[in-house]
Amino acid sequence: MTAQSVTILGATGSIGTQTLAVLAEHPEQYRVFALVAGSQWQLLAQQCLQWQPRFAVLADDVAAVALRNHLRDAGSDTEVLSGAAAMAQVAADADVDVVVAAIVGAAGVRPTLAAVEAGKRVLLANKEALVVTGQLFMDAVRRHGATLLPVDSEHSAIFQCLPALNSCSEVRLGGVKRLLLTASGGPFRTFDAQALRAVTPAQAVKHPNWCMGPKISVDSATLMNKGLELIEACWLFDVAPAQIDVLVHPQSVVHSMVEYIDGSVMAQLGSPDMRTPIACALAWPQRIHSGAERLDFMQLAGLHFEAPDVARFPCLALARQAMEAGGAATAVLNAANEEAVAAFLAGQIGFLAIAEVVDDTLQRLGPQTCRDLDAVMAIDQQARAQARHYMAQRFG
């Protein structure tokens, strides 16, 4: 069997580095075609020297110059490129088999769609790309015959609990009553409104069960992550928001469930380690070692479930409403959230203001319809400007 050629979009992040850790367990089965990152050229340089990809791409031109000089001095053959067009090119190249979409935020939309349009096997971690483009994304998957496999642990769980499929584009939900999306509840699950008002970025990025990038960590703390995942599940599995229930499950051992009309409930369990869903998507329908710890049932103190509290965590309700509203509302939700989370991480707004900014932006921009990607990205920009304007007026 010839080795599969892999491009990783977002190689230096939490998912990107864990993907490389899984690939390292299987050197005969996979080789790296291209590594893509934002601006962290030093880590990308180390990865290039270890993996010797054909291409390394950075979003940032200045960082790309530094990387090019560094790799040249180290005698590396990796070609360094920069910018959005180069990212799309290494995602769509005829020599690529698998694209791991792990850029954070709407910045991943175009390169991920480029992989889809080239009919690749696309391992989707970048949930924002799907939240922003929704129907356009799924239409492109079907039109171009791409194989779409979820990396998000909840969606990987649901995918594994459904009748055997080769791709999300094949989903038929005969007999399914509802999807049960589990949520850890984040680091502030037990905080009251008063305590939530005072939480800091440092507290928010320290997740109890998972080690993730700063943006998704804040999303987990507000429960916006679960809201984005609810939207992601609607598109991946072709269900309405009303068919998805969110369950808070602080141990993060049951990664999600599917309930069937006969009363049967299928769950997927495992230790909270993203290498499991990454390995699952890489090899599907085969199974390969991931390096993750085995789940030790004797060590489990118990499995606990509770309802999410949307009064303390309104982002979950906002996401559900945006999906129900349809059109570009989910793109507006995502853009406002990205701006608000960035402002929170920069110490410019408080934790509770994140939901306030998203709510205000959604109310002002509402559910517009958009026919193509350019229209969606224009709404994304409009929503960002509106969210920044609101924050400057209210907190500036």
Q: Least distance to ligand NAD from the beta carbon of 164, Å?
A: 23
Residue 232 lies near Mg ion (rule: CB under 5 A): no
Of 173-181, 210-218, 324-332, 375-383, the segment contacting ligand NAD by CB under 6 A is 210-218
Per-residue binder mask for Mg ion (CB under 5 A), 151-190, x = binder = -xxx------------------------------------
Among residues 11 and 146, whose Cβ is nearest to ligand NAD?
11
Q: Which of 13, 53, 227, 270 binds ligand NAD (CB under 6 A)?
A: 13
Q: What is the DSSP letter of 306?
A: B
Residue 253 lies near ligand NAD (rule: CB under 6 A): no
Interior CA angle at 61 toward 201 and 59, to 5°? 50
Please give the order of strands across the beta sheet that includes 121-124.
79-82, 55-58, 30-37, 4-9, 98-101, 121-124, 147-150
Residue 318 lies near ligand NAD (rule: CB under 6 A): no
Residue 126 lies near ligand NAD (rule: CB under 6 A): yes
Residue 164 CA, distance from chain mean position: 23
Residue 98 lies near ligand NAD (rule: CB under 6 A): no
Q: What is the DSSP letter of 102?
A: -
Could you tell me which of 17, 15, 268 has the C-alpha nearest to residue 127? 15
Of 20-28, 196-204, 205-213, 358-366, the segment contacting ligand NAD by CB under 6 A is 205-213
Residue 107 lies near ligand NAD (rule: CB under 6 A): yes
DSSP codes of every residue in 72-95: HHTT--PEEEESHHHHHHHHH-TT
Q: Which of 96, 179, 212, 341 binds ligand NAD (CB under 6 A)?
A: 212
Could you tell me which of 177, 153, 150, 179 has the C-alpha nearest to residue 165? 150
Of 4-12, 166-174, 198-206, 387-395, the segment contacting ligand NAD by CB under 6 A is 4-12
- CB under 8 Å to 180, separation ≥6 — which residues? 244, 245, 247, 256, 257, 258, 259, 265
Neighbours of 237 (CB within 10 A): 22
Q: Which residue's beta carbon is nearest to the bound ligand NAD?
A: 13
What is the number of residues in the chain?
Answer: 396
Q: Where are the alpha helices (DSSP H) in the chain?
A: 14-24, 41-51, 61-73, 84-92, 109-117, 127-143, 153-161, 193-197, 201-204, 214-222, 224-237, 275-283, 314-325, 329-345, 353-365, 373-395
According to the annotation, is 220 in a ligand binding site?
A: yes
Inter-residue contact 361 to 343 (CB < 8 Å):
no
Q: Least distance to ligand NAD from the beta carbon of 220, Å?
A: 9
Among residues 76 and 156, whose Cβ is nearest to ligand NAD?
156
CA distances from 206 to 215, 218, 267, 276, 330 (A): 11, 9, 27, 21, 27
According to the annotation, is 271 in a ligand binding site?
A: no
Residue 255 lies near ligand NAD (rule: CB under 6 A): no
Tokens of 286: 């085969």
Among residues 154 and 259, whose Cβ is nearest to Mg ion?
154
Residue 11 lies near ligand NAD (rule: CB under 6 A): yes
According to the annotation, is 13 in a ligand binding site?
A: yes
Query: CA-to-CA distance for 291 and 367, rounded, in angstroms?
Result: 44
Among residues 293 and 366, whose Cβ is nearest to ligand NAD?
293
Please choose which of ligand NAD, Mg ion, none residue 270 contacts, taking the beta carbon within 5 to 8 angstroms, the exact cut-off set by kind.
none
According to the annotation, is 79 in a ligand binding site?
A: no
Within 133-172, the residues that bind ligand NAD by CB under 6 A are 152
DSSP-derived 3-state class of residue 238:
coil
Please choose which of Mg ion, ligand NAD, none residue 128 contacts, taking the beta carbon within 5 to 8 angstroms, the exact cut-off set by kind.
ligand NAD
Strand partners of residue 99: 7, 122
Residue 219 lies near Mg ion (rule: CB under 5 A): no
Inter-residue contact 35 to 44 (CB < 8 Å):
yes
Binding residues, by number, are: 12-15, 38, 126-128, 152-154, 184, 207, 213, 220, 225-226, 229
Q: Which residues bind Mg ion (CB under 5 A)?
A: 152-154
**Which positions lie near ligand NAD, rule CB under 6 A?**
10-16, 36-38, 40, 59, 102-104, 107, 125-128, 152, 210, 212-213, 215-216, 274
